[in-house]
Amino acid sequence: MGAWLGRQRWLLRMGAGRLGMATERHGRAADASASSAGEPAPGGPGGRRRELLRRRASSASEPPVGASASASASAEGVRRSRPGSYSGAPSVSRQRVESLRKKRQLFPWFGLDIGGTLVKLVYFEPKDITAEEEEEEVESLKSIRKYLTSNVAYGSTGIRDVHLELKDLTLCGRKGNLHFIRFPTHDMPAFIQMGRDKNFSSLHTVFCATGGGAYKFEQDFLTIGDLQLCKLDELDCLVKGILYIDSVGFNGRSQCYYFENPADAEKCQKLPFDLKNPYPLLLVNIGSGVSILAVYSKDNYKRVTGTSLGGGTFFGLCCLLTGCTTFEEALEMASRGDSTKVDKLVRDIYGGDYERFGLPGWAVASSFGNMMSKEKREAVSKEDLARAMLITITNNIGSIARMCALNENINQVVFVGNFLRINTIAMRLLAYALDYWSKGQLKALFSEHEGYFGAVGALLELLKIP
């Protein structure tokens, strides 16, 4: 039963504890030469679809082949008024969901978010199963439940984030625990194969899935696993998920938090934040790429912009520069590095502050700017490079988020997405940068379940909640 995913070399290890979140368990590929492993920041391209439909409709010409721009972008300014505004392809599935909902949704309850790098799976484990129910429960359903809940790792790359588990949750009148599981998107075929092996299709269940992979793997689900996916808009799911999770809290604790004195290693504190007035809210989802949404109410939000410089960029460039193979490894290296050896600071150019423009000497003038010099290239360590990469990507996201907040006139900015998983350096930097450059106007907020909101949103859609 252990070989849930195709690979046989899974190993569970304690994570790199130096990152300040030692209680967490991290899966990690033992074999450094193994291709896969680890996890880059996931999240996928974050719901470009609707924007792009609009973009085409507004006669903007299609970008030429080979040219690029961060997928995101476009269609700013168009508010998405919900609910229930499905369009195009998903509408078929929607009907199916509606028809299924007339009955009580059968177990198992899954929500799936297939991003560009990571697949996020939430699974509701009913704890109020009666003896009678247990009796009736088909073998395959039982086997799934047991398998998922009795393991913390699946195959070589599947991880259950045990510390995130939401206990005693009531969903659709059932009490149970919500489990959070992730595995790399490239193991999707193995996952589908497992569905086939375990005869999922006999359960007549519906798989609600969001993220780009819901489209990419739809055919595989159907032909290999005999499973019909219900495809959902990823931004809808994201917004739904985050609002729901915030409302249920985190096992009695606050879901949302912020950092006080983020720049001060001694005084820095992670403190709970009560998101009692959530609107308007700037939502920055940092997966492989970044999507930025302005949320005005439960049903009213718009995608402001996005950038292709996200978690995938950090991890990808770290792999190329340092030879690291896992996200954890990249972060661990970054925690030991010194980015000022790599970056050119304002003081490196002006000897101190650039007073003419009010720029502090410590500010980065040119990311990787010192690497223009051969001598300095030879003098830096891999750790320094990893750190600089982390600082570069994080600062850039902070900068774009700040500009969006200004343009949209929004003061609270919530950063989510798996790039922030075990990534205190990035979170503190975002908190500090937002506060410093906005002169205290903007507040950076974070959320415990970082990357799982899309999957949660998909589960809520399955159960038609609310």
For residue 88, the minimal CB distance to other proteins (Å) is 7
What phi and psi, each to the nearest 5 degrees, are found at residue 330? -60, -45
Least distance in Å: CB of 9 to other proteins? 15
Binding status of residue 92 toward other proteins by CB under 8 A: no
Q: Which residue from 101, 145, 196, 216 is in contact with other proteins, where contact means CB under 8 A?
A: 216
Residues 27-46 that bind other proteins (CB under 8 A): 35-36, 40, 44-45
Which amino acid, residue 144?
I
Site string for other proteins, 107-146 (x = CB under 8 A): --------xxx-----------------------------
Q: Residues 192 to 211: which contact other proteins by CB under 8 A? A: 211
Among 16, 364, 410, 422, binds other proteins (CB under 8 A): 364
* Number of residues that this document lists for the chain: 466
Read off the tokens for 83: 């609910």
Q: Which of 217, 257, 258, 296 binds other proteins (CB under 8 A)?
A: 217
Cis peptide before 280 (omega within 30 of 0): yes
* Contact call for residue 88 and other proteins (CB under 8 A): yes
Helix, coil or strand: residue 165: coil
- Evaluate whether 345 touches 366 at the Cβ level (below 8 Å): no
- Contacts of residue 13, defined as CB under 8 A and 6 or more positions apart, other chains included, come to 26, 27, 28, 30
Instruction: Tell me the closest approach of the beta carbon of residue 334 to other proteins, in angstroms.
Output: 15
Give the helix/strand (H/E) hosting 397: helix 382-408
209 vs 214: CA distance, rounded Å: 6
Pattern of binders to other proteins over 401-420, x per CB under 8 A? --xx-xx-------------
Q: What's the closest the beta carbon of residue 132 comes to other proteins, in angstroms?
A: 43
Q: Name the residue nearer to other proteins (CB basis): 184 or 195.
A: 184
DSSP code for 355: G
Smallest distance from other proteins to CB 341, Å: 12
Question: Is residue 283 within the footprint of other proteins (CB under 8 A)?
Answer: no
Residue 277: which residues within 8 A CB-CB, separation 6 or more? none
Question: What CA–CA distance (Å, rounded) separates 284 from 427?
Answer: 12
Please state the closest distance from residue 353 (CB atom) to other proteins, in A. Answer: 13
Selected range binding other proteins among 98-106, 135-143, 170-178, 300-308, rule: CB under 8 A: 300-308
Task: Please give the positions annotated as active site.
Answer: 234
Note whether 157 and 12 are within 8 A (CB): no
Cis ω before 278 (30° cut-off from 0): no
The gap from C-alpha 87 to its chain's centroid, in whole angstroms, comes to 25
Which amino acid makes up residue 340?
A: T
Q: Cα 347 vs. chain centroid, distance in angstroms?
A: 35
- In whole angstroms, the minimum distance from the beta carbon of 315 to other proteins comes to 4
Q: Which stretch binds other proteins (CB under 8 A): 173-181, 271-279, 372-380, 452-460?
A: 372-380
Judged by CB under 8 A, the chain residues 301 through 360 that form the site for other proteins are 305, 307-313, 315-317, 319-321, 342-344, 349, 356-359
Query: Is 453 among the residues that bind other proteins (CB under 8 A)?
Result: no
The residue among 14 and 92 lying less far from other proteins, judged by its C-beta, is 92
| Chain residues 373-402 in contact with other proteins, contact rule CB under 8 A | 374, 377, 385, 392, 395-396, 399-400
CB of 156 to other proteins, least distance (A): 14
**Cβ neighbours, 10 Å, residue 384:** 23
Count CB atoms within 10 A of the CB of residue 464. Answer: 12
Count of residues that bind other proteins according to CB under 8 A:
88
Q: Nearest distance from residue 70's CB to other proteins, in Å?
A: 5
Tell me if 289 contacts other proteins by CB under 8 A.
yes
SS3 443: strand
3-state SS track over 217-244: CHHHHHHCCCCCEEEECHHHHHHHHHHH
Span from 4-12, 53-61, 162-170, 238-246 in contact with other proteins (CB under 8 A): 53-61
Task: Determine which residue in the list 200, 368, 452, 453 makes contact with other proteins, applying CB under 8 A.
Answer: 368
The footprint of other proteins on residues 432-451 (CB under 8 A) is none
Scan residues 220-279 and list those touching other proteins (CB under 8 A).
none
What residues numbered 159-198 form the site for other proteins, per CB under 8 A? 184-186
Handedness of CA 30, 36, 233, 415 (dihedral sign): positive
Nearer to other proteins, 40 or 155 (CB): 40
Using the rule CB under 8 A, give the single segment among 173-181, 196-204, 365-373, 439-447 that binds other proteins: 365-373
Question: According to CB under 8 A, which one of 152, 203, 248, 365 is a site residue for other proteins?
Answer: 365
**Cα angle 256, 259, 260; round to 5:** 135
Q: How many angstroms from the chain centroid is the CA of residue 427?
A: 14
Residues near 401 by Cβ (< 8 Å), separated by ≥ 6?
282, 284, 292, 413, 415, 430, 434
